[in-house]
Amino acid sequence: MKRIVVIGGGSGGVMFSNRMRGAFTPDEVEITVIERSEKHFYQPAFTLVVFDLDDPVNLMRPTKDLFFEGIKLIHDEATKIDAANNKVSTAKSGDISYDYLVIATGARLIFDEDPEGLKSALDKGTNTFNFYKLDGAIKLRDALKSLDGGTIVSSVCSMPIKCPAAPMKFIMMAEDMMREKGIRNKFKFIFTTPMPAVFSREPYASKLNSIFASRGIETVANFNPSEVDSDKGVLKDFGKKEVRFDTLTITPPHGGEAIIDNSEGVGDAAGWVTCDKNLMVSKKYSNVYGIGDATDFPTSKTASGIRKQAKVLVARLAADITGVPTKAAYDGEIICPMLTKNKRVMFAHFNYTEAISPAIESYANWVLKVHMLRPLYWNLMLNALV
């Protein structure tokens, strides 16, 4: 019997483990998941909460309820990977040995480094917000309802981040919200990005540039925030540029989890698991794999990507276990739904090399994103049915 240890019970850990459990019996493969949180959140709907398009009560389920029977779930924190000796150290459960390791630790939000003043500004909660956590999305939702004018800024500190389109969704939906309320002329909207442009992939980049220009949303490119002064309403960058705001929503820097830094040969300097971008296997250890936001794959960190990766990873591991070769490989495919205004969504669908979908806003895409994706996630994606 082969022993598979999965570190992380988020989207990647659940999708892989359940699909793997369906491929092999417990007598053939033992699957152990180490996850510290007892709650699992549907993160793609956090931006929906901001605009009252979903209820927070729909977005959380107990982690233990998500895994198929025959998967062992340990609520603990994995602290170190000894990949040379095939074991994982934990805070309370001792060392756990494996034949194969799957790292699904996700991305960590970093609030206590650059930009200076970020954490204190968010703690005050008067004019600076973050929707990458559910409580932050709720606070931002409530703040938006009371606004009657001013400059609203959406800022990205650094790349990569989870769902790169989310900060753009926010600024477009906020502009549309004020337009529908009849007070658009009382607001200014600014989007700052550390990238050279709003978006990096065509044809979506040109479409977004057109939307921003037609709706008067200003873009400040190559902007790397160095300081948030919430008292003065000023966001500064390392190049000495300044953007003034009345309401700021900021996407904090992201990095890998601390366990990656603590584990020799597993990750890079930023804490991302270093893997072959197609085969998903560690560049140093042949029995260590990465999935989801934890990895250094050169594509967006999204649940749609994880769904594709889970299928490939199960096929790769099954081939290794059974000795039957497979050509399964991850091509970087992701689908990123972008809310552009009320009742309109554009899907950015692409892989490592090419765009797959046209840059079209549609109501059908809105229905899928706003009304269908969450139940599809809970009932089908996590259960390895799609």
Q: What is the pLDDT of residues 301-311, one digit of tens each?
A: 999 999 999 99
> Quick one: pLDDT at residue 290?
98
- Measuring CA to CA, how many Å separate 136 from each of 125, 153, 304? 9, 16, 23
pTM given for the model: 0.96
47-92 pLDDT tens trace: 999 999 999 999 999 999 999 999 999 999 999 999 999 999 999 9
Closest CA to 255 of 117, 131, 105, 136: 105
Closest CA to 154 of 209, 225, 87: 225
Mean predicted confidence (pLDDT) in 345-368: 97
Closest CA to 382 of 22, 48, 3: 22
Residues whose CB is less than 8 angstroms from the CB of residue 150 and which lie 6 or more positions away in sequence, other chains included: 186, 187, 188, 245, 246, 247
312-349 pLDDT tens trace: 999 999 999 999 999 999 999 999 999 999 999 999 99
> Quick one: pLDDT at residue 305?
96
Name the pLDDT band for 46 (thresholds 50, 70, 90): very high
> Quick one: pLDDT at residue 121?
97
Mean predicted confidence (pLDDT) in 211-230: 97
Residue 24 to residue 7: CA distance in whole angstroms: 19
247-292 pLDDT tens trace: 999 999 999 999 999 999 999 999 999 999 999 999 999 999 999 9
Fold that domain 118-254 belongs to in CATH: FAD/NAD(P)-binding domain (3.50.50)
The torsion angle over the Cα atoms of residues 159, 162, 168 and 170, rounded to 10 degrees, is -130
> Quick one: pLDDT at residue 307?
97
Domain ranges of the chain: 2-107+256-331, 118-254
Q: What is the mean pLDDT of the chain?
A: 97
> Quick one: pLDDT at residue 36?
97
> Quick one: pLDDT at residue 42?
98
Domain 2-107+256-331 and domain 118-254, same fold? Reply is: yes
Name the pLDDT band for 103 (thresholds 50, 70, 90): very high
> What SS3 state is found at 178?
helix
Mean predicted confidence (pLDDT) in 114-142: 96
Fold that domain 2-107+256-331 belongs to in CATH: FAD/NAD(P)-binding domain (3.50.50)
